[in-house]
């Protein structure tokens, strides 16, 4: 599956790794994991990670962003990870590279790179990078293994989502051979300050239901300013306070920002991706996102989700 990717890695002395902006655990984990796998197995190669700040996932060892000048791309291989569309890539200079590769597990919406491995059946992009390491027979670096395990945990919902299968656990077991404790992953990932717990409780109190049991939260710009919380913490960070509500199989979190209304769509049963795509977004069958212009558009999206919850095709 990865022969062309491995040939490209071998053929380039400089490799620059990209991922999506506003990164989650899978984006940072796959970027960091691939970087340290290449460094461990091809010590003479230059490997750089680029993009916006790791933010919430800055605790992942080795995830610091590198500086890469434009002229470094001329003879380089650019690897794009965990990106379902070109508009999501953090740092557009990947297009300056001699050769481009994309590894991704989002639903395919169009070609981005010269060489692509798109596997939506995988629970995470970290899982794809791990499969690459297994196929290649790479020496397993502990920093890489911890980063990849972290991304597998976050994008599989702690191994709960239905993309989790026997192969997922085989890859996780392979990574754990590097000799780390799961406490090294779970404690920094899920331990929270009291203020964060209280913030989550506040958002639980905001949950509303549509006629056909779509749960939603809408946070306007004034409320965001009053809370003093960043966009990522509220939009993606609070989306799953609505999960596990009995009778609710679709939920969506709307957050007003300077760039528009961030929409985080989730489902335990339905394929909500077509709704996200309709409004200019994308993602996975049961976890997608989009950014819309205003509240009125967000409410149209909510209406579509309500119809879907009632059995309509969107």
Q: Work out the average pLDDT over 152-157.
A: 95
Work out the number of other CB atoms within 10 angstroms of the CB of residue 230.
Answer: 13
Residue recorded with tokens 């709307």 = 254
Residue 159 has pLDDT above 90, yes or no: yes
pLDDT of res. 301 = 99
Tokens 């070609």, residue located: 111
Q: What is the pLDDT of residue 314?
A: 77
Q: Over pLDDT 90: what percentage of the chain?
A: 92
Q: Same fold for the domain at 3-189 and the one at 196-309?
A: no
Overall residue count recorded for the chain in this entry: 314
pLDDT tens for residues 270-299?
999 999 999 999 888 999 999 999 999 999
* Pairing status of strand 287-292 against strand 260-267: antiparallel
pLDDT at 262: 98
Ramachandran area for residue 280 (φ above 0: left; ψ -120 to 50: alpha; else beta) = left
pLDDT of the residue at 283:
87
Query: How high is the pLDDT of residue 249?
Result: 97
Per-residue pLDDT, 313: 84
pLDDT at 24: 94
CATH class of the domain at 196-309? alpha beta
The Cα 143–Cα 134 span in angstroms is: 16
244 pLDDT band (50/70/90 cuts)? very high
C-alpha to C-alpha distance for 218 and 302, rounded to whole angstroms? 11
Res 205: pLDDT: 98
* Contacts for 283 with CB less than 8 Å, ≥ 6 apart: 84, 106, 107, 265, 273, 276, 289
Q: Which of 264, 29, 244 is nearest to 144 (CA)?
A: 29
Structural domain boundaries of the chain?
3-189, 196-309
Read off the pLDDT of residues 22-57 as tens digits, 9 standing for 90 and up.
899 999 999 999 999 999 999 999 999 999 999 889
What is the model's pLDDT at position 290? 95
In CATH, the architecture of 3-189 is Alpha-Beta Complex (3.90)
pLDDT of residue 178: 97
In this model, does residue 258 exceed pLDDT 80? yes
pTM: 0.88
- Cβ contacts of 159 within 8 Å, gap of 6 or more: 123, 152, 153, 168, 169, 172
| Average pLDDT, rounded, for the chain | 96
Average pLDDT of 68-72?
Answer: 96
Q: Are residues 6 and 136 in contact, defined by beta-carbon separation less than 8 angstroms?
A: yes
- The 10s digit of each residue's pLDDT in 99-151 is 999 999 998 889 999 999 999 999 999 999 999 999 999 999 999 999 999 99
Query: How confident is the model over 239-259, as a mean pLDDT?
Result: 97
H-type helices in the chain, by residue range? Answer: 3-11, 25-41, 125-136, 142-155, 166-176, 183-190, 194-204, 221-227, 231-235, 273-278, 295-309
The whole-number pLDDT of residue 261 equals 98
Task: Assess whether pLDDT exceeds 80 at residue 76.
Answer: yes
- By the 8 A CB rule, do 93 and 71 touch? no
Helix, strand or coil, per DSSP, at residue 183: helix
């Amino acid at each position: 599956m990865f022969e062309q990717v491995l040939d490209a890695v071998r053929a380039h002395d400089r490799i620059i790794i990209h991922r999506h902006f506003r990164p989650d655990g899978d984006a940072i984990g796959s970027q960091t994991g691939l970087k340290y796998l290449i460094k461990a197995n091809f010590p003479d190669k230059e490997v750089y990670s680029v993009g916006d700040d790791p933010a919430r996932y800055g605790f992942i060892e080795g995830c610091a962003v590198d500086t890469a000048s434009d002229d470094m791309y001329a003879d380089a291989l650019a690897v794009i990870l965990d990106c379902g569309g070109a508009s999501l890539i953090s740092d557009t200079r990947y297009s300056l590279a001699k050769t481009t590769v994309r590894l991704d597990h989002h639903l395919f919406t169009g070609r981005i790179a010269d060489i692509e491995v798109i596997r939506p059946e995988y629970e995470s992009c970290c899982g794809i990078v791990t499969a690459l390491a297994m196929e290649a027979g790479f020496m397993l670096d502990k920093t890489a293994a911890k980063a990849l395990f972290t991304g597998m945990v976050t994008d599989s919902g702690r191994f709960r989502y239905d993309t989790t299968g026997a192969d997922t656990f085989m890859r996780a077991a392979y990574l754990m051979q590097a000799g780390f404790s799961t406490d090294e992953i779970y404690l920094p990932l899920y331990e929270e300050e009291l203020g964060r717990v209280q913030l989550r409780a506040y958002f639980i109190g905001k949950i509303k239901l549509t006629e056909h049991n779509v749960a939603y939260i809408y946070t306007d710009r004034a409320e965001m300013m009053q809370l003093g919380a960043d966009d990522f913490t509220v939009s993606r960070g609070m989306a799953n306070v609505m999960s596990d509500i009995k009778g609710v199989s679709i939920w969506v979190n709307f957050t007003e920002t300077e760039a528009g209304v961030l929409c985080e769509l989730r489902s335990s049963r339905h394929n909500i991706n077509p709704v996200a795509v309709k409004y200019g977004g994308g993602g996975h069958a049961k976890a997608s996102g989009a950014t819309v212009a205003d509240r009125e558009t967000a409410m149209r999206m909510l209406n579509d989700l309500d119809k879907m919850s009632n059995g309509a095709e969107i």
